[in-house]
Amino acid sequence: MNLHRVLIYGMGLMGGSLALSLRKKFPDVLITAVVRSEKSKTTILSKDLANEVYLLSEFMKPDWSNYDLVVFSTPVESILQIIPTLPKSGNTIFMDLGSTKETIVSAVEKYYGKETHHYISTHPMCGSEQVGAEAAIPDLYVDKLCILTSPKSASNASLEWVRVFWEAIGSWTMEMDSKSHDETLANLSHLPHVISTILVNVAGANTTTMREVMGISKPITGGGFRDMSRIAGSNPDMWISIFKENKDFLYQSIDDFIHQLTEFRDLLKPDHPFDEGKIRKLWELALLNKEQIRKTK
Amino acid sequence: MNLHRVLIYGMGLMGGSLALSLRKKFPDVLITAVVRSEKSKTTILSKDLANEVYLLSEFMKPDWSNYDLVVFSTPVESILQIIPTLPKSGNTIFMDLGSTKETIVSAVEKYYGKETHHYISTHPMCGSEQVGAEAAIPDLYVDKLCILTSPKSASNASLEWVRVFWEAIGSWTMEMDSKSHDETLANLSHLPHVISTILVNVAGANTTTMREVMGISKPITGGGFRDMSRIAGSNPDMWISIFKENKDFLYQSIDDFIHQLTEFRDLLKPDHPFDEGKIRKLWELALLNKEQIRKTK
């Protein structure tokens, strides 16, 4: 594939890991990075994540046509600001790594209208608690799923190019339209992060629990709480941005959760008969759903 | 310590692992097991988890005084039935491994009244998705916390004996009264299991999500969903028993969760301003609570 010069616009964990993947799979590629801080610039150069690094302030009127591939690896909000400044001609492939798709794809479709373009939105599913280019690893994308979302008027060739690119990096790919992506991710990713965070805050607000927790130097929790709280409170900037972009689907997803949890709570109502059969059915259903979603059967 | 003959009444994962721990730490101890099925009997003998095994039907009028230590490792409901049949004299130490304490301790206190006794309720915190004696491992209790709950009129000497016993096995110990135990565990253990199960059922009930899930052979989920769903739907018999015994505290804990989650949901209300500051505060609070509960700082 035609890949000589790549621009990675925003280089944190994801952009930095993509740089390392490129170094491994396409060793001749020249990588340019654009970052906000001098500190990132130093990290990137010392880890050889890019051949040249610009601060945002040094990159105000870029000639995008210098690059075969431009990857936006910044929060969605800033991607939305860049989209209306992109060229309407040339062969550069534009791609983002945004965690939500609907607002990006709408912006791309609004900007390009019926004109054929080369902007493909992608979402590599490889979250991590780590942040920043210093945490970049070359295998972040290997054997992970990358969701491809093609806005209207994107050329088929660019979709195909992006698919081949991610598969060369070592990812699996699947296509999803932007609305399905955001609804699915609300349930499979955004809701779990909310739930984990609320869980530790519920425990934290219970005075008996916290008195006992404080009474011993070892954790009182077993593996269940440990797993369920791992992602709690992580990376607020990223999650605030995701929640903002996916407000409507996440609202619905949380509402569904409250509805199901309220039904469960009511099975335990004081002075109500304990309906073991209903709980058993919920547990059996959960095992089935879990197997289907996690593909463990 | 005086420990020659131990009866393990009910030998699944926990009782079986305790037998293996005894073999390691007290190799001269003679272990007797009581189980429900021929299948368990065969497993136990083939793994040398006990020197003799009785079926429940062969153990109707036991002479408890034959044993220095009797460990009840069955569901709480069946422990509740045995308590009123225990002897009121002798030096045998009685102990259970129940996951809830309030109903057991109440039954013990009701039965013994003001008479001094040797029944100490314990809860080793070492849940696992595995079940059955065939999954038993010798290190299940090593470096785990074991909560000790002393009913009224239990002798101080038996509490001390039980503490020394668990520490010899390799566990950490802490004391908790029965109500504090059940309230704390509702928040740190029972609630997380409910939440995990509801989470996969919410995703499973969303048609868009499941259509996408079914559209590819790889899981769409990242590490967040994987961790958050690990305990979903596991071990229904055990959990139904725990929920039944801890109905009131779990109700309250779920209710607290619904309350906090509803407040979060309402931050995302359609057409409402997006209050980033409030979300940030919840995330910061969660990090603090998580550190305190998990003792990671």
How far is it, in rounded angstroms, from Cα A97 to Cα A114?
Answer: 24
Q: Percentage of residues in chain B with pLDDT exceeding 90?
A: 92
Of A201, A214, A227, the CB nearest to B285: A201
* pLDDT tens figures, B208-226: 999 999 999 999 987 899 9
Under CATH, which architecture does the A181-294 domain have?
Orthogonal Bundle (1.10)
Cβ proximity of A32 and A5 under 8 Å: yes
Q: Where are the domains of chain B?
A: 5-176, 181-294
pLDDT at A129: 62
| Residues in CB range of B161: below 8 A, 6 or more apart | B1, B93
Question: Is A292–B125 a contact, with Cβ atoms under 8 angstroms apart?
Answer: no
Backbone dihedral angles phi then psi of residue B201, each to the nearest 5 degrees: -75, -30
Question: Is A145–B220 a contact, with Cβ atoms under 8 angstroms apart?
Answer: yes
pLDDT at A221: 86
Q: Would the ipTM clear 0.90, i.e. be above it?
A: yes
Nearest CA in chain B to A217: B295
Q: What is the pLDDT along chain A (297 residues), one digit of tens a residue?
A: 789 999 999 999 999 999 999 999 999 999 999 999 999 999 999 999 999 999 999 999 899 999 999 999 998 999 999 999 999 999 999 999 999 999 999 999 999 999 999 999 999 998 666 778 999 999 999 999 999 999 999 999 999 999 999 999 999 999 999 999 999 999 999 999 999 999 999 999 999 999 999 999 999 987 899 999 999 999 898 899 999 999 999 999 999 999 999 999 999 998 899 999 999 999 999 999 999 999 986
Closest by CA position to B210, among listed A69, A291, A223: A291
Of B243, B256, B283, the CB nearest to A268: B243
How far is it, in rounded angstroms, from Cα B39 to Cα A292?
Answer: 31
pLDDT at A247: 96
CA distance A216 to chain B (A): 7
Domain A5-176 maps to which CATH number in 3.30.70.1380, 3.40.50.720, 3.40.50.2300, 1.20.272.10? 3.40.50.720
Alpha helices per DSSP H over chain B: 13-25, 38-46, 76-82, 102-112, 156-169, 178-185, 191-205, 207-214, 223-229, 236-245, 247-267, 276-294
Helix (H) or strand (E) holding B176: none
Average pLDDT over residues B233-251: 94
CA distance A90 to chain B (A): 34
* pLDDT tens figures, B82-92: 999 999 999 99
Residue the block writes with tokens 């994308």: A141
Question: Is B204–A293 a contact, with Cβ atoms under 8 angstroms apart?
Answer: yes
**What is the bridge-based pairing of β-strands B145-149 and B119-124?**
antiparallel
Question: Is B229–A176 a contact, with Cβ atoms under 8 angstroms apart?
Answer: no
| Residues in CB range of A160: below 8 A, 6 or more apart | none
Of B198, B200, B285, the CB nearest to A264: B198
